[in-house]
Amino acid sequence: MSGEWVLVTGGTGFIAQHCILALLERGYRVRTTVRSLAREKDVRAQLRVGGNVADERLSFVEADLSNDAGWHEAMSGCAYVMHGASPTPSGDQVTEDDWVRPAVEGNLRVLRAARDAGVKRVVLTSAFGAIGVGHAPDYRRPFDETDWSDLTGDVAPYQKSKTLAERAAWDFIAREGGELELSAVNPVAVLGPVLGADFSHSTRIIKSLLDGQPGCVNINSCFVDVRDVADLHVLAMTHPAAHGERFLATAGASLLMIEVAKVLRDRLGAAAARVPTTVWPDEEVRKHPAMKSVAPLLGIDMNATSAKAIRLLGWHPRSSEEAIIASAESFLRLGLIDGQA
């Protein structure tokens, strides 16, 4: 309902900022959390890049997933919560616990605060990493919402944190959630318009290709536009059929990185002059320090389906090609490509 308050956690995040934009466009009032109010100016600047002019309907609260301070204030008067704040690949994590503990404890802290504040529904931003990794190569495809990542397999700490954090959220709702409702959105690699230099690790795929990395890694991925992910969050927040459900967000079948590179070259012309045209040999990728998290995905089918969101919620995402080009054009527009004049 227009005018209701929605809390969006982690307002510095790529998905969170597009959720804020989608909510403001629909007439909601939005409160968002940041770990330091010093970031408010930066977040507002990025939202203006995204077209937001409704500053008076947006407020900020300082809150950190690692402690209780600020969460009661953040939840006060909110009908809904979109919870996406979580540790992401930053280079600061040293041990697996540095990933898992804040993700799990943060989810539980937010859910308890939401329950105690009388929030109607929380939409959890989970990930494909909680669904489609760690499985044997002959595991059935495409992945859907009935799948969970196999943590006995080769699973990176970030993906493990997303899996355990989502499981902890569903367990909390079952045991002690009271009247609080929960829905989850599990996006694949999220592309679309970046809003500034503080962009996501998924969009870095496109930047690396435009920057001229040595070759296209032999992996495939599904893609989805961040604006469509935000729209799915709104549907998961308001649609009666979304209660108690998780929704994979993908725009279509998976693409090899060499196919992504071809989309860039075909659509961008001279701006894609440095995009690689060959496949980076697997043995070289496995030896490259920066490719450690990617190596387990070499040659693995990562196909997934959004049939459930389309059928139950009437969600209609843009094509993968549109998402790819939207990312690329925003990097070029904002002057974020290495060596760009």
Contacts of residue 99, defined as CB under 8 A and 6 or more positions apart, other chains included, come to: 87, 93, 157, 158, 160, 161
Residue 339 banded pLDDT, cuts 50, 70, 90: confident
pLDDT given at position 280? 94
Amino acid at 147: D
Distance (Å, rounded) from C-alpha 150 to C-alpha 286? 22
For the chain, give the mean pLDDT: 95
- Number of structural domains (the chain) is 1
Phi-psi region of 288 (alpha: psi -120 to 50; beta: other; left: phi over 0): beta
Q: Report the residue count for the chain.
A: 341
Q: Is residue 25 part of a domain?
A: yes
Residues tagged active-site: 162
Range of the domain at 325: 5-333
Higher pLDDT, 3 or 121: 121
pLDDT at 341 over 60: no
pLDDT in tens, 194-207: 999 988 999 999 99
Q: Please, are residues 85 and 126 in contact by the beta-carbon 8 Å criterion? A: no
Residue 282 banded pLDDT, cuts 50, 70, 90: very high
Distance (Å, rounded) from C-alpha 237 to C-alpha 124? 10
- What CATH number does residue 135 fall under? 3.40.50.720
pLDDT at 96 over 90: no
Distance (Å, rounded) from C-alpha 51 to C-alpha 134? 39
Q: Is residue 69 part of a domain?
A: yes
Residue 1 banded pLDDT, cuts 50, 70, 90: low
Tokens representing 158 are 């970030």
Q: Is residue 340 part of a domain?
A: no
DSSP state of 68: S
246 strand-pairing partners: 184
Q: Is residue 338 part of a domain?
A: no
Tokens representing 210 are 């435009």
pLDDT given at position 299? 92
Q: Is residue 262 part of a domain?
A: yes
Distance (Å, rounded) from C-alpha 160 to C-alpha 167? 11
pLDDT given at position 293? 79
Amino acid at 280: W
Lowest-confidence segment of 18-22, 76-80, 84-88 by average pLDDT: 84-88
Higher pLDDT, 97 or 164: 164
pLDDT at 296 over 90: no
Helix, strand or coil for residue 4?
Answer: coil
pLDDT in tens, 317-331: 999 999 999 999 999
Q: Is residue 339 part of a domain?
A: no
Q: Please, are residues 82 and 233 in contact by the beta-carbon 8 Å criterion? A: yes
Question: Whole-angstrom distance between the N-terminal and C-terminal Cα of the chain?
Answer: 46
Q: Is residue 79 part of a domain?
A: yes
Of 300, 291, 137, the residue nearest 222 (C-alpha): 300
Distance (Å, rounded) from C-alpha 251 to C-alpha 222? 7
Tokens representing 53 are 């002019």
Q: Please, are residues 194 and 203 in contact by the beta-carbon 8 Å criterion? A: yes
Q: Is residue 152 part of a domain?
A: yes
Residue with token string 């599990």: 186
Instruction: Please report which residue ranges of 145-203 form alpha helices under DSSP H.
Output: 157-176
